[in-house]
Structure 1
C-alpha cells in the first residue's frame, strides 16, 4: 500500500496547530537552561560542569516519571478521539498519582542526600562541592516540575496546546529575572552565585503551575479540576491501564538507568570534557525543542485517529512523521553548526572544553538525526497502543551494545573523550532498520477504545493487501 511521502495540507495544518506551540514551549525551557548555564558560566568552568551534573540527575527524574506520563498520553489521546471524557479523567488521576510519587522520591534524595548523588556522577572533588548546594535547593522543584508535566501533557493531548506555552513564557521570564538578581546580587538581593540559579528554578516552577491552574479553573474541558472524577477506578480499568503502560514505564526507567551509567562514565573523563558535555546538553535541547513538538503532535494526531477507528489515516500520518522528524533534526543542527563559534563562546569554556564541544556538535549531526528517527518510531508505536516492541529493541541495544562499549573505551582503554562520546549512540545505527520495518508492517496499531478495536480487522486486511 503506497503512502504519500510528503503528506497533504491537512497533515501539516495539524502538525503546526499541535506541534508548534509545544516546540515553542520546549524552546523556552531550553532557553531557561541556556540562561542558567551562561550566567553560571561567569562564575567559572567548574560551576558550569556542576550544574551540568545536576541536570543529569534531573534527566534521571524525567526518565522516572516520563514512562507514566507517556503511558497516560496513550489514553488521553485515544479517549479524546473517542469523546470519552470520563475515561480522560480516570486516566489523568492514575497518571498523576504515579508521576507525583516519582517526583517526591527524587526531590527527597536531592534535598537530603546531595553528596551521595554528586559522588555517584563524578569523581572530581571541585565539581562535587560546587554542585551540592545547588542540588539541595533545586530538589524542591522536582515535585513541582512533575506536576507541571502531568498537567501540560493532558492539555496537549486534548489539543489545548497554547496554555502550556503561556505558562512556559511566564516561567522563563521569572527564571531569567531571578537568576540575574540572585546570581549577581543585583538591587540589594544577596549574591548567591550558583545557589541563586537554583532558587530561580524553584520559583519559576511555582509560577508555571499557577498559570496552568488558573486557566483550568475557567475552561469547560478542564479535566484537571474535576478532582472527584479522577479516582474510584474500576478494577478492569486499572488492569487495562497498567497492562498498556507497564512496558513504557520499564522502557523509560531502564533507559534512565542506562543513561545514568553512561553519565557516570562521562563524569570520570577529563574535566574539560565534562564542562563541554554540560554545554552540549543545553544545545541538544534546541533540537529536542522542535523534536518534542513533533513527537507530541504525532502522539495526539496518530493516537486520536487510532482511538476513533481511523487506522488507515493514522498509519499514513505515522509514516509522514518518520520522514519529517529526521529532516527537521538535520536542518536545526546544521544551523547550530553554522553558528557554533559565537554560541560556544557564550559559555565561558576554556580552550580544551571548546575543542571537545565543537567535536561533539559534528558527531551529533549524524547520530542525532538517526536517534530522533528511532525515537519517533517508538513514540508512535506507544500512541497507537504498542508498548512492547520498541521497548525491547531499545533496552537490548543500550545494555548489550552501547554501555559495554562505552565502559570499555572510557574506563579501561582510556580512549579520547570524543571517541567515548560517539560510542554513546552506537546502538542507534543498529536499531533503525528494525524499527522502520515494524513501522511499515502496521502491527503496532493496537487501540484501547472499543471504536478502534472494531475497525482493526479491516485495517489489518488493508495492510496485508487483502482489500
Structure 2
C-alpha cells in the first residue's frame, strides 16, 4: 500500500469508526425502543411512526443548516483557523435555535391536525398527537446538538461526542423501560413515556456537548460576546449564499419524503406500521454509511481548505469505491438476519409479510441509495457544490419519484412496488452524481485566506 492510500485509510478509519460505533449503538437502542413501543400494538407503531415522520421535517431542515456548518468548519480547520470555527458555530446555532422554536410551537398548537393528515384511525390520532406534542419540546436540543457535533468532529474530536451520544441513548432506553411500562414504581405512560425519555436524553446530550465546546475554548461566553458582529459579517453572507441551496434541498427532500409517507399511510394502518418499522431495522446495518459520509465531508473539506485539490478528488473516488463494495456485503447481511429480528415485534402475519417484501426491495436499490448518501451529502457538498445537489435531489424526488409513487398507489400496486417506484430516483441520481464528481467542477475553496476572519 502506497503512502497516499495508507494516509487515506488511517484518516477514514479515524473518523468513520467512532461515528459508526456511535450510530451502531444508536440504531441498536432505537430497535429496542421500537420493540418497546411495538409491543403496545400496531396502532402504537403506526402512531409513533406518523409522529416521527413529521418530526423528520424539522430534523432534516436542521441537517441542512448543519451541512453548511460542516462545509465551513471543515475548510476552516484545513487552514487551522479556530476563530473561524467559533464564529461559524455561534452564527449557525443562533439561526437553528430560532427555527427549532418555530417548529416546537407548531407541534403544541396543531398536533391533532398533523396526525390527522396521515391517518383517519381515531386511536392512531389520539396516541400520535400526545406523542408529538411532547417530542416537539426536544427540537431545540436536537438542533443545537447537531451543530455542536459538527464543530467538534471537523476538528478531529469524534470520540467524546460518541461517548456522550452513547450515554444519552442508554439513558433514553432506561427511561423507556421505566416510563413505557411503569417498571420499578414509575408511572405507566405508554408512548408518552417514550417521548419524555427522548426529551430528557436530548437535553443531557446537548449539555455535555456544549460543556466540551467550552472546555476546548471553541465557545465561551467571552467568545460569544466578542463575536456578536458575526451576524453582519462576510462569513454570515457566505454561509447564507452557500448553505441556502442545501437548506432548500433538505426542505424539498423532507416534504417529498413526507408525501411519500402520506401515500403509504393512505394504503392502511398495516402498511403504515410496516413502513414505520423499516428504518430502525435497516439502520443497524447501514449506520456505517453515515460514518463514511461524515468522514468524507471532513476529509475532503479539509483537503480543499488546504488547497490540495488532487488529494481531495482522490479521496472522493476512494470513498465511492468503498461504498459500492460495502453495499453488496451489507445487503446480504440484512436479508440473512431479518428472520431473527421480526419475531421480536408484536405484529400480525400480514405486517410481517409486508416488512419482508419491503426489505428485499430496499436491498435492490441500496447501492444507489448509499452512493448518493456519501457522494451527494458528503463529497459534493464538502466542495460547496450545494446548488447542483439541490437540483439533483429535488428533481429526482418531485419529477420522478413522487409521480411514480402516486400512480402506483392509484392503481393499487402492492406496497413493495409502491416503495420501489418511490425510490427508483436513487438510481438516476447516483449515475448523475458520480458523473459530477468525476468532472471535478465541484471542488471549490470557500474560505480562501482573504475571507478568513479573525
Whether the TM-score (by the shorter chain) exceeds 0.5 is: yes
Who is 2:427 aligned against? 429
Who is 2:372 aligned against? 374
Are 1:74 and 2:71 an aligned pair? yes
Runs in 1 of length 4+ with deviation above 6 angstroms? 4-7
Secondary structure at the aligned position of 2:267 is classed as coil
Match of residue 21, structure 1, among 15, 18, 23: 18
Separation of aligned partners in 2, 1:270 and 1:225: 55
1:429-462 CA deviation, whole Å, 9 max, x = no partner? 2222221111111010011122599xxxxxxxxx
Separation of aligned partners in 2, 1:326 and 1:223: 42
Who is 1:305 aligned against? 303
Separation of aligned partners in 2, 1:408 and 1:312: 45
Separation of aligned partners in 2, 1:290 and 1:197: 26
Deviation at 1:224, TM superposition (A): 9.3
Deviation at 1:223, TM superposition (A): 7.2
Tell me if structure 1 keeps the 8 A contact 2:358–2:415: no
Deviation at 1:325, TM superposition (A): 1.8
Q: Give the 5 Å matches for 1:39-438.
A: 39-221=36-218, 226-233=223-230, 234-379=232-377, 380-410=379-409, 412-438=410-436
Deviation at 1:381, TM superposition (A): 0.9
Tell me if structure 2 keeps the 8 A contact 1:89–1:223: no
Relative to structure 2, which stretch is displaced further, 295-304 or 259-268? 259-268
Provide closer, same or farther for how the CA distance between residues 288 and 442 of structure 1 changes in structure 2, counting only shifts above 3 A.
same
Relative to structure 2, which stretch is displaced further, 98-107 or 8-17? 98-107
Separation of aligned partners in 1, 2:2 and 2:113: 50
1:334-369 CA deviation, whole Å, 9 max, x = no partner? 212111011011121210110111111111112122
Are 1:450 and 2:437 an aligned pair? no
Provide closer, same or farther for how the CA distance between residues 219 and 147 of structure 1 changes in structure 2, counting only shifts above 3 A.
same
Alpha-carbon RMSD: 2.1
* TM-score, length of structure 1 as denominator length: 0.92
* TM-score, length of structure 2 as denominator length: 0.94
- Stretches of structure 2 that go unaligned for 5 or more consecutive residues are none
Deviation at 1:210, TM superposition (A): 2.3
Deviation at 1:375, TM superposition (A): 2.5
Tell me if structure 1 keeps the 8 A contact 2:289–2:373: no
Tell me if structure 1 keeps the 8 A contact 2:59–2:142: no
Separation of aligned partners in 1, 2:219 and 2:32: 33
Between Structure 1 and Structure 2, how many residues are aligned? 449
Separation of aligned partners in 1, 2:179 and 2:172: 10
Provide closer, same or farther for how the CA distance between residues 326 and 120 of structure 1 changes in structure 2, counting only shifts above 3 A.
farther
- Stretches of structure 1 that go unaligned for 5 or more consecutive residues are 454-467
Are 1:12 and 2:9 an aligned pair? yes
Deviation at 1:428, TM superposition (A): 1.3
